[in-house]
Amino acid sequence: MAHYLGLEYPFQVIADPAGGYVLVFPALPGCMTQVESAAPIGPAADEARRLWITTEYEEGEDIPRPSYPEQCSGKFHLRLPRSLHRRLAELAEREGVSLNQCVVTLLARAEAESRSVGSSSRRTAAVRSPRRAPLRRVASGG
């Protein structure tokens, strides 16, 4: 386990227009946390990464190798039905976030949940909150 804990995993910091930040590790499915200010980003990211790796290791799951941002730009073009576009825009407005932030949050949640299906237990329980936080509210800590 020490080998995996010693690896450096890049993470993304996504600013919430309403305040705070969401930290996401692309190579570690479902590994994310939230902070209220920029100051605790480093320690919160390290704690989330360590908890995720420890939980996966103890459950006998494979630990992915780090991936690096150069492999994917983080941007792609998407065409969707106007009705879905409208519903997403309305959701973003109700939540007080940008359409982009709304879609990124929904995709991250769905992707994390899809990777958790089939595991003997929720693999990210040590990192994620037991309930979904609203899109606009960002909790402190991990």
What percentage of the chain reaches a pLDDT higher than 90? 39
- Could you give the C-alpha distances from 137 to 15, 40, 60, 62, in angstroms and in order? 12, 17, 34, 32
Kindly report, residue by residue over 8-47, the tens digit of the pLDDT.
898 999 988 888 899 999 899 999 999 998 888 999 999 9
Find out whether 28 and 64 touch, Cβ atoms under 8 Å: yes
Provide mean pLDDT across the span 45-71.
Answer: 87
* Rounded Cα gap, residues 132 and 88, in angstroms: 18
Q: Which two tokens stand for residue 95?
A: 């939540």
Q: Is residue 99 pLDDT above 60, yes or no?
A: yes
Q: Is residue 142 part of a domain?
A: no
DSSP per-residue letters across 8-52 = ----EEEE-TTS-EEEE-TTSTT-EEEESSSTTHHHHHHHHHHHH
Number of domains in the chain: 1
Q: Is residue 70 part of a domain?
A: yes
Domain extent at residue 48: 2-116
Q: Is the pTM here over 0.85, yes or no?
A: no
Q: Is residue 140 part of a domain?
A: no
Q: Is residue 132 part of a domain?
A: no
Q: Which residues contact 126 (CB under 8 A, 6 or more apart)?
A: 51, 52, 54, 55
14: β partners: 22
Return the pLDDT at 31.
94
Higher pLDDT, 75 or 12: 12
Judged by average pLDDT, the poorest of 75-84, 91-100, 121-130 is 121-130
